[in-house]
Amino acid sequence: MPDILWTGEMAFLKKMILNVNGILAWISGNMKDTDAMKQDMTSAYNGERTADVVNYDTYGWDHYNGVAVALLEEISLSEKHVLDVGCGTGISTIEIVEGKANKVCGTDISEYMLGELKKKVEAKGYQNVVDVILADAENLPFDDNVFDVAVSNMVLGLVPNQEKMIREMIRVVKPGGVIALSTHGPTHYAELSDAVFAAIPKRYMLGRRILYWPRGREWMQRFFQDAGLNDVKVKQSIWHDSFQSSNDMYEFIASSTGNFYASFIPDEVINSILNDIRQYFIVSKIDKITLDVVYAYGKKAES
């Protein structure tokens, strides 16, 4: 069951409003409709509502590559069979191949994102090393105990049943294998949360569960331990990325999220409301964004 109360940080009053809305979503039954949430997320990353995701690599490469490098530097990939859950356009997947993994399987819920990974695999001649599979992180289409390592870079916060995703990663890893994931911390993209809150008329969100749920280091530590993982380690980095202009910052956000936060907005007004979010940044002169990333590692028990 997804959370009802917002897991990120936000000003008290806004958080209260979100939490009341979460309770309404629970009462109306929308909270339980995780298939609809995943369908909205898939449409966003397939570019079906807006085309911004086509610029994912242009604006997002440095960010996602930097987070992937920080995630992977703690683990050994050499000669390993690695699963990359929510691999997107393959920024993390290519990093894993170049970290000397023996074989890598990239999975994602978006066909568009996987198409971009396939282009990279072909351009680099990695066809014998990389498998590309369309799959939901909550229901991985693999037998138990297949991979040496399961990795996921900045996906968990977008998945409705996060416990299930982590349990799936543990299930498909061999005994003694490693789970490593990075996710959105409580203040990640705080400026975007404020802009969305200001620009999207509340009537569109009423009784709908929002699609983005950050996690703090305590939750990750506790969940990894409760799941029976050994050698659990959690670290967190918080920093700010600066952009040349507020408009560039908006482009980064729009392309890296596919505007999934606009899933509730009807087609006829989506462009004008997204423009309001862009204008919020421009008028408020916001050209820096908070990045808050929690990294978690654990080892599956030997038996």
Residue 234 touches ligand SAM, criterion: CB under 6 A: no
In the window 256-295, what residues touch ligand SAM (CB under 6 A)? 256
d(Cα 62, Cα 290) in Å, to the nearest integer? 15
DSSP β-bridge partners for residue 133: 107
Contact status, residue 53 vs residue 255, Cβ threshold 8 Å = yes
> Binding segment for ligand SAM among 9-17, 97-105, 131-139, 230-238 (CB under 6 A)?
131-139
DSSP 8-class letter at 262: G
Return the number of the residue (115 or 175) whose C-beta is nearest ligand SAM: 115
Return the number of the residue (1 or 27) whose C-beta is nearest ligand SAM: 1
10, 31, 45, 156: residue in contact with ligand SAM (rule CB under 6 A): 45
**Alpha helices for the chain (secondary structure H):** 12-28, 34-45, 56-72, 91-98, 111-124, 162-172, 190-199, 202-205, 217-226, 246-257, 267-283
How deeply is 143 buried, as exposed, middle or buried, from its count of CB atoms within 10 A (0-12, 13-18, 19+)?
Answer: exposed
> Binding segment for ligand SAM among 134-142, 172-180, 214-222, 281-289 (CB under 6 A)?
134-142
The DSSP-derived string for 270-294 is HHHHHHHHHHHHHHTT--EEEEEEE
Q: C-beta of 41: minimal distance to ligand SAM in Å?
A: 5
97, 117, 132, 159: residue in contact with ligand SAM (rule CB under 6 A): 159
Return the number of the residue (158 or 289) whose C-beta is nearest ligand SAM: 158
41, 149, 156, 210: residue in contact with ligand SAM (rule CB under 6 A): 41
Instruction: Draw the binding track, 174-213, toward ligand SAM (x: CB under 6 A; -: no contact).
Output: ----------------------------------------
2, 8, 22, 86: residue in contact with ligand SAM (rule CB under 6 A): 86
Return the number of the residue (153 or 259) whose C-beta is nearest ligand SAM: 153
- The dihedrals phi and psi of 209, each to the nearest 5 degrees, come to -80, 130
User: Closest by alpha carbon to 74, among 222, 293, 227, 296?
Assistant: 296
Which residues of the chain form contacts with ligand SAM (CB under 6 A)?
38, 41, 45, 64, 68, 86-88, 91-92, 108-110, 113, 136-138, 153-155, 158-159, 256
